[in-house]
Structure 1
Amino acid sequence: MQIITGQLTHFVNPLARRDNVYSEQQRKILDIDKSHEAIETIRLWPGYSVTPLYSLNSMARDADIGKLWYKDESRRFDLKSFKALGGAYAVIRQLQKALEQKLGKTPDTREILAGKWRKEIQEITVSCATDGNHGRSVAWGARLFGCSAVIYIHRDVSEGRKECMESFGARVIRIEGNYDDSVKMADAEAKANGYIIVSDTSYPGYTEIPKDVALGYTAMLSELVDQLGGEIPTHVFVQGGVGGLASTVCGYFWQLWGNERPRFSVVEPEQANCLQQSARAGEPVRVEGSLTTLMAGLACGEVSILAWEILKNGSDDFMTVSEDTVPATMRLLAQGYRNDPAIEAGESAVPGLAAALLARADQEIARKMQLDSSSKILLIGTEGATDPELYQKLVDIDSEI
């Protein structure tokens, strides 16, 4: 049974490695042995709780899939996004390093949360460029730990997302260009003003802090492994963007499960498919143009160089979904499909699910991906209604998009 319709492109990565060799170069980017400190730190933050992992049994049955798991990040702190973990964790790590240089010792998380170093921390400003959710995490982390934040957004970031970041006390600056232009502006302004850039993408000359962002994401993956109770998925579909989350999930499972790891697929919008185009070229490719897409958090034209080091061999498939699949999939989840739970999923949360359903319904793609009635698919619902007004418009079947 075909549950949704839409266009799907699929590219099988000829460089994918199915052995269990996770290289030393990749380990320098993401080492799960270093994730324990991040996990323990995040569990100390006020409001931390494990987000749900749902089994979408009705949808799996009708799509002729063995199991369909959906990790729901719409309940992550008050930010409704997995990004809450990465940006804020990188903020506290940078504050600790700055204080270590000044004090000769590294304050622990409890001391910072208790305000012991409030005066010193107030003198520090963190900054980043964002499509919305990462900047919200940086702004939230800055307020939680007591420093200032300056956030750069591009022309297509909604006013609702801008206002949310401002509600956390951040100064938000909108530029006329796209996401990649905002990254360059943030970098230049940080150098001119002495800000600490806390970015979730890496580029030449900037590679260390994004590693802490990735370590923050591993708190979610640690929860996931516990929730799976010993089961290993056969397939994972993850949203693309610059590749930060996708490479973290890929690298984490690669190290954890070796050659038993799931088949890994990255999913992007048609107009912002820098990862798929890079895979086709065999090297990082920049996508030019407006990058216009409903999937605002995935409107990225340039690959994170660290992410590419993992995904170029670790991802088996690179896929895109058409824009019309987004509201349709959001509605499926919002209404609760048959006996499945109702789930709040934002526009950048659903491409993985859309791609999985479309791939299973396409005989040729399903064959190439070894998708069948015994497949156990894991999806990460990366955000909830991070822009409530847009969310309501997209899930309202009678509204005009």
Structure 2
Amino acid sequence: MDAIQLLSNHQSPFENKQKLPENFSDVERFHLSMPSYSKTPIHYLSSLANLLHVKGIYVKDESTRFGLNAFKGLGVSYALNQIMKNQPRRFYTFVSCTDGNHGKALAWQAHELGYEAIIFMPKGSEERRVKAIEQYHAKVIVTDMNYDDTVRYAAEFARDNDAYLVQDTSLPGYIQIPNDIVLGYSTMVKEALDQMHEKPTHVFIQAGVGSLAGGVVWYLQHRYQGELPFIGVVEAESVACIYESVKQNKMVSIGGEPYTAMAGLNCGEANPSTFPLLKAKANCFIKCSDEITFKGMSRAQNPIGHDVSFSSGESGAVALGLLEEIMTNPVYQYKKEQLQLDSNSIILLFSTEGEIFSA
């Protein structure tokens, strides 16, 4: 089986039935008010672009965001601010399920605000990811369930203990907080587009449940009013729930206990709030084996020519590995054409996390 599989999408009109919010200026204003906020860098990989015969490659580097090594703090911080503004209390307990970065961001923000965080993690979670969350004084519980069942367990726990579930995927009767998290990611996209000074022709964004991908596409739709770049949604092949849902034209759940090194993408059920948007607006859905993200991690660490070296983790590097593999491996010539990549392409990627090192 190919390490890269592509599914071209027959796009359809998008109806905002899930009421995805559009108050992007409020999100930016909130983030700018945070003492710990600063823009993360964008790297222009001119030497790699020359090697791959494209016009430009930009990588938004989220490894320095809030000192968390990942982008997730943007969504969590905005969502918690909305909870506290709309539902004031003397004390809050925040609950979530995570493969790592989301829970770490929630633990960080809860601790900063002086509140409690209880984080559930799925079976097989790495000890280094557990410890990265515990350093922010959260209680971490590793379950014997997969990610999606752990999400449901966390939701039940929050409901039974008068706590707030802070999850980036919607559930029956639970939409507002996930939508606020999705909206919070827009700051990352706005920063990137402002830093580029030219419109990308292509945007490749990785997906687990698809909340980040939905947030990126939603802001692109707002920014460009329908004149969108070519959008590719990238998943780990063992848990490509969005790819399979589009292919089968129904919501598909990847059951069992699938493994991928891309822990942040190891989610078997798509966010029902953002899936219709992705199905309507993305040009292509892509699933990749772990070897592709390892290729991207290596390129980030070992740049070509005068390109900068940067840290990109397993869930952050897959699109970079995909791009180089597609453009250099003759086996994928037809897929390069399918992705409409050529000498005029200006490509934006998001390295959503840096590497995580064991203590």
Counterpart Cα distance in 2 of 1:155 and 1:343: 30
Distance change >3 Å, CA 65–CA 30, structure 1 → 2: farther
- Counterpart of 2:4 in structure 1 is 8
- Counterpart of 2:30 in structure 1 is 41
Q: CA RMSD in A?
A: 1.6
Equivalent residues of 1:71, 1:381 under 8 A apart: yes
- Counterpart of 2:352 in structure 1 is 382
- Counterpart of 1:54 in structure 2 is 43
Shift of 1:22: 5.5
| Cα deviation 1:331-374 (Å, max 9, x = unaligned) | 11112222210010011001111222233342211222211111
Counterpart Cα distance in 1 of 2:304 and 2:104: 30
Equivalent residues of 2:299, 2:321 under 8 A apart: no
| Cα deviation 1:73-93 (Å, max 9, x = unaligned) | 001011011101111221221
Are residues 1:242 and 2:209 paired? Answer: yes
Are residues 1:29 and 2:20 paired? Answer: yes
Q: Percent identity?
A: 34
Equivalent residues of 1:79, 1:137 under 8 A apart: yes
- Counterpart of 2:60 in structure 1 is 71
Shift of 1:232: 1.1
Equivalent residues of 1:321, 1:354 under 8 A apart: no
Shift of 1:147: 1.3
* Residue number among 342, 345, 350 corresponding to 2:312 in the alignment: 345
Corresponding letter in the other structure for 2:8: V
Counterpart Cα distance in 2 of 1:358 and 1:88: 36
- Counterpart of 1:160 in structure 2 is 128
Shift of 1:326: 2.1
Shift of 1:203: 2.1
Q: TM-score, normalised by structure 1?
A: 0.85
Counterpart Cα distance in 2 of 1:42 and 1:272: 32
SS of equivalent to 1:152: strand
Equivalent residues of 2:297, 2:321 under 8 A apart: no
Corresponding letter in the other structure for 2:254: V
Corresponding letter in the other structure for 2:342: D
Unaligned runs of 5+ in 2: none
Equivalent residues of 1:360, 1:372 under 8 A apart: no
Q: TM-score, normalised by structure 2?
A: 0.95
Corresponding letter in the other structure for 1:129: C
Shift of 1:13: 1.0
Counterpart Cα distance in 2 of 1:92 and 1:139: 14
Counterpart Cα distance in 1 of 2:20 and 2:42: 27
| Cα deviation 1:169-193 (Å, max 9, x = unaligned) | 1111110111111101101111111
Counterpart Cα distance in 2 of 1:22 and 1:176: 38
Runs of 4+ with >4 A deviation: none
- Counterpart of 2:163 in structure 1 is 195
Equivalent residues of 2:209, 2:270 under 8 A apart: yes
SS of equivalent to 2:68: coil
- Counterpart of 1:278 in structure 2 is 245
Unaligned runs of 5+ in 1: 1-5, 103-119, 391-401
Shift of 1:277: 0.3
SS of equivalent to 1:260: coil
Larger Rg: 1
Shift of 1:30: 3.7
* Residue number among 146, 152, 173 corresponding to 2:141 in the alignment: 173
- Counterpart of 2:339 in structure 1 is 369
Shift of 1:24: 4.1
